[in-house]
Amino acid sequence: MTYYREERRPPEEIENLFECRIQETVGLQTAAHAHIHEYYEALYCLEGGFVLYTGDASTAFSPGEMVLIDPNEVHHTRSTGKGCNRYLVLKFTPDALLFAEHPLYELQVMLPYLWSGAKHRRKFEKPLLEDGHIGELLMDVLHEFEARTLGYEMAVRANLCRLFVWVARLLDRETGGELLRRMDKAALSTLQNAFSYIDQHYVHELSMEEVAAHCGMKYSAFSRFFTRYAQKSFPEYLTEVRLKRATILLATTALSITDVSMAVGFSTTSYFIQRFRAQHGVSPGRFRRGFLTGETAQ
C-alpha cells in the first residue's frame, strides 16, 4: 500500500499536542487517504457511515460509534453513506497525557495503554459511548478547540484525560485487570525516581550513567528499561524536559537566548537553537516575540 507520513501541525497550533475538527464527505468516496502519524486518533461518527482500514483489517462504524487508531499505524477511511457523511477527528500525542510530574498512580493507569505493541479495542459501540457520555465529551473538545477562548488548551487536555481514563477502565474490565497485573510497581517506582532526578538535575551535564546509578541499575539495563516504560530514549526525554523549561523562561523572563540555553543545561547556544527549532518549528527568539505579541495563541 502506498501511504504518506503526516507531520505534526506547526507549533503555533497549541504546541503540536492535539487537534480536533470535522471530516465530511458526500456519497461513497475516500474520506482520508492512507497515511501514518505519531498521534493517537479517535474518529467519532456523526452522520452517514464509514469504514476504517488498518493494515489488512477493516472496521465499519456508524453514527454514535467511535474507532481508535494507535500512533504510527497506517490507516485510511472511506464513507459508506450515499448522502452526507461526517465524523469528528480528535488527534493527540502521548505527550498530551504523559508528563514527568505524574504521580505513580497515574503512571500505573497510563503506561500499559501507551506501551507500543499493546493490543487495544478498535471500535467502541454506541451503547458504550452513551453510558460514558463520550459523545458529549468529544463535542465539548470540538467546541473548545474551535472557540479557543482563555484556557481552552487546559480544557481540551482535561477532556483528553477523561477520555483516556474511560478507555483505560474499559480495557481493564475487558482484560480482567490483566494489564495492571502485568505492571511491575517496583519498576514504575524506579521510573518515577528517574523522572524526579532528571527534573532536579537537568540543568547540569546529566548522563544516563548518572541516572542509572541513582536508580541502582547498570547502564545497559537502565537504557532498555527507560525506553520501554517512558516510550522514548533517555536523550530524547532529557532534551524534551530542557526545551519545556526553556519555553517557560523565554515567555516569562528577559534572559538572553544564550542565558536561557545555559539555564536549562544545553552545552552550546547553537545546539539549543537547533533543538528548539526542530521541536517547535521556530527559533527561540521568534517564539518569544510571538508569545509576547500574542501570535502563538492564534
First CA to last CA across the chain, in angstroms?
A: 37
Burial 19-55 (b: 16+ CB within 10 A, else e): bbeebebeeeeebbeeeebebbbbbbbbebbbebbbe
Instruction: Indicate whether 29 pLDDT > 80.
Output: yes
Q: For the residues 248-262, what does the mean pLDDT come to? A: 88
Give pLDDT, residue 298: 34
> How confident is the model at residue 95, as a pLDDT?
65
Asked if residue 297 has pLDDT above 70, the reply is no
Q: How confident is the model at residue 3 (pLDDT cuts 50, 70, 90)?
A: low
Q: Within its chain, how far is the Cα of 201 from the centroid?
A: 25
Alpha carbons 209 and 197: distance in angstroms, whole number: 12
- At residue 232 the predicted structure's pLDDT band, cuts being 50, 70 and 90, is confident
How many CB atoms are closer than 10 A to CB 125?
13
CA distance 123 to 64: 11
pLDDT at site 146: 92
Cα separation of 298 and 294, whole Å?
A: 7
Which of 1-15, 39-53, 231-245 is modeled with the greatest confidence? 39-53
Is residue 80's pLDDT more than 50? yes
Average pLDDT over residues 204-222: 94
User: What is the rounded average pLDDT of the residues 70-92?
Assistant: 91
CB of 234 closer than 8 Å to CB of 223: yes
At residue 94, the pLDDT reads 67
Please state the rounded mean pLDDT for residues 181-186: 65
Rounded-to-integer distance, Cα 113 and Cα 2, Å: 28
Per cent of the chain over pLDDT 90 is 47
Nearest to 21 by CA among 46, 52, 49: 46
- Could you tell me if 242 and 279 are in contact, meaning their C-beta atoms sit under 8 angstroms apart? no
pLDDT mean across residues, the chain:
83
- Going from the C-alpha of 51 to that of each of 6, 41, 65, 177, the distances in angstroms are 20, 15, 12, 30
User: What is the pLDDT, as a whole number, of residue 253?
Assistant: 82
Domains of the chain: 4-178 (2.60.120.280), 185-297 (1.10.10.60)
- Amino acid at position 37, single letter: H
If pLDDT is split at 50, 70 and 90, which confidence band does 96 have?
Answer: low
Contact 58, 49 (CB under 8 A): no
Q: pLDDT tens-digit profile of 186-203?
A: 887 888 889 889 988 999
Q: What is the pLDDT of residue 180?
A: 54
**Is the pLDDT score of 247 beyond 90?**
no
pLDDT recorded at residue 186: 81
What letter would DSSP give residue 217?
Answer: -
Confidence class for position 116, pLDDT limits 50, 70, 90? very low
pLDDT in tens, 272-294: 999 998 887 789 988 887 665 54
- What are the φ/ψ torsions at residue 218 (nearest 5 degrees)? -80, 160
The whole-angstrom separation of Cα 87 and Cα 79 is 10
What's the pLDDT score for residue 68? 93
Please tell me the predicted confidence (pLDDT) of residue 7: 67
Residue type, 15: E
What is the tens place of the pLDDT at every residue in 125-180?
A: 999 999 999 999 999 999 999 999 999 988 998 899 899 889 888 877 877 765 55
> What DSSP character marks residue 37?
-
Cβ-based neighbours of 43, under 8 Å, separated by 6 or more? 23, 50, 52, 61, 66, 67, 68, 69, 77, 87, 88, 89, 90
| pLDDT attached to residue 251 | 75
Task: Using the predicted structure, report yes or no on whether residue 218 has a pLDDT greater than 80.
Answer: yes
Query: Residue 124 pairs with which residues in a beta bridge?
Result: 66
Specify the range with the lowest mean pLDDT, choosing from 25-39, 171-185, 195-209: 171-185
How far is CA 194 from its chain centroid? 21
As a whole number of angstroms, the distance between CA 274 and CA 267 comes to 12
